[in-house]
Amino acid sequence: MLLSTKGDYGVRAMIDLAKHEGEGPVQRAEIARRRQIPESYLDHLLAQLRRAGFVRSVRGPGGGHLLAKPAEDICLLHLLEALEGSLAPLQCLDGAETGAEAICGQEWVWQEIYDNMRNKLSSVSLAALVDHEREHERSVTINYSI
């Protein structure tokens, strides 16, 4: 599995923040409830997202979390890389050349797949994910907003 629930949870949380953009800070407990993420685990993910510059937070009553930049300027690739580390399918495509590339014998196959993946993920912004979710809500009964 390329993505663990860490990446999944992190993206869900970011979608939640993006969806409430402009409504003031969103509390961790609210995100956890709406997106079905264990709150204490979400704590770690938000810390990671904050350190990576995607989220800023406000302490104290009425505090919570906010996007650190517009949802249009955050793409899925950068978000997932911040949460999961490199998405390279193979060690030898990792960028950090380890010297093991010559033996592998498959890297020419995977390079193309990796490029395709990165292109696709770069082209999808957080805003697009929110749009997609809103689109989906109109045809399905279940939704995650209050």
Partner DNA sequence: GCTATTCACGACCAATCTGGTAGACATTGT
Partner DNA sequence: ACAATGTCTACCAGATTGGTCGTGAATAGC
| Residue 18 is a binding residue for a copy of itself (CB under 8 A) | no
Nearer to DNA, 25 or 125 (CB): 25
Among 42, 55, 76, 82, binds a copy of itself (CB under 8 A): 76
By a kind-dependent CB cut-off of 5 to 8 A, residue 124 interacts, out of a copy of itself, DNA, none, with: a copy of itself
User: What character string, x for contact with DNA (CB under 7 A) and - otherwise, covers 21-60?
Assistant: ----xxxxx--------xxxx-xx-xx--x------xxxx
Choices 24-32, 40-48, 55-63, 114-122; region in contact with a copy of itself by CB under 8 A? 114-122
Per the structure block, which two tokens stand in for 45?
A: 């993910």
Of the pair 59, 96, the CB lying nearest a copy of itself is at: 96
Judged by CB under 8 A, the residue of 96, 108, 138, 146 near a copy of itself is 108
> 145 touches which of DNA, a copy of itself, none (CB within 5 to 8 A by kind)?
none
CA distances from 39 to 61, 79, 109, 125 (A): 18, 20, 40, 25
Which region among 62-70, 74-82, 102-110, 117-125 touches DNA (by CB under 7 A)? 62-70
Cα–Cα distance for residue pair 91/22, rounded to 1 Å: 41
Does 99 contact DNA by CB under 7 A? no
